[in-house]
Structure 1
Amino acid sequence: MPDTVSSTSSGFDYFEDPLYLSSADQPNATLASFQFDGHDFLGWKQEVFMSLASKNKDGFLDGSCSKPHVTDKKFKQWFRSDIMVTKWILNSLNKSIRENLKYVKSAEELWEELLERYGSANAIEIYQLKKDLGALI
């Protein structure tokens, strides 16, 4: 099926299906303009989220595209999509961070681990920077 076709005669829109992967969706793709190296987590996170949302894959991050039971006919399709999202995120991390996270079991688990490790630290850093900037004015 060509990527330019978004629906069939049945009216099903493939691009609305978060499990749909086009031929352009390759595992070596990156989601951000820079690899996350421990700095600017908020900027990196925003770029990754926007990239995944544009591919209708943001549900893999928050669990809203939930894993079906292994007997469900959509399980293999979900599994392939989840692996692809996980791979894209891992490709957007520098090697030292990627090495510590490569054994996660899902994109959601990877995302939660990144938020836990780097999300709160950046909030504290931003607060301190704003405080320091305010003291300069």
Structure 2
Amino acid sequence: MWGYVTGTKTKPSVPQTENFDMLFDAWETDNSMVITWINNSITQSIGMQLAKYDTTKEVWNHLERLYTQSNFAKQYQLEYDIRALQQNDQSIQDFYAAMSDSWDQLALTKSKELKDFEP
């Protein structure tokens, strides 16, 4: 199914080919199934943004743009929040989860170009 995400499994486009209806129905079913898997893995508010896309590749590209863009203001805010984070009356598990979430978000703001230079 990864081919739907990468775009290598494309929608059949030539109606004159043999078995076109069967190929098109199979593609549409699989494409919809992968989009459903993605929607079941994200929050409802993000899922609402994806409703305008018809293909899994379009959905994936939108999510990629949304979560992998380098944003220095967002990086600064996350770094500030990490430095300010305190356990206070939270359990160690809750504090660790909050800290991990912030670090994960910060990692997503790194640009691809910067990641390529890591040792």
TM-score by length of structure 1 reads 0.46
Q: Tell me whether 106-115 or 95-104 shows the greater mean CA deviation.
A: 95-104
Q: Distance in 1 between matches of 2:58 and 2:14?
A: 18
Contact 2:68 2:110 in 1 (8 A): no
Contact 1:90 1:102 in 2 (8 A): no
Residue 25 of structure 2 aligns to a residue in which SS?
A: helix
Question: Could you list the per-position Cα deviations for residues 42-84 of structure 1 after superposition, in whole angstroms to 9, with x for gaps in the alignment?
Answer: xxxxxxxxxxxxxxx0000111111112622301110011001
Runs (5+) with no aligned partner, structure 1: 1-56, 128-137
State whether structure 2 residue 62 is matched by structure 1 residue 113.
yes
Q: 2:13 maps to which residue?
A: 69
Residue 74 of structure 1 aligns to a residue in which SS?
A: helix
CA RMSD of aligned residues (A): 2.1
Bigger CA radius of gyration = 2
Q: 2:2 maps to which residue?
A: 58
- 1:123, CA displacement in angstroms? 4.1
- 1:120, CA displacement in angstroms? 2.3
State whether structure 2 residue 110 is matched by structure 1 residue 124.
yes
Contact 2:67 2:109 in 1 (8 A): no
TM-score by length of structure 2 reads 0.53
Q: Distance in 2 between matches of 1:119 and 1:70?
A: 35
Runs (5+) with no aligned partner, structure 2: 71-107, 115-119
Contact 1:82 1:107 in 2 (8 A): yes
Counterparts of 1:16-55 in structure 2, within 5 Å, are none
**How many residues end up aligned between the 2 structures?**
71
From 35, 48, 56, give the equivalent of 1:99: 48
Q: 2:77 maps to which residue?
A: none
Q: 1:82 maps to which residue?
A: 31
Q: Distance in 1 between matches of 2:3 and 2:30?
A: 11
Which residue identity does 2:62 align to in structure 1? Answer: E
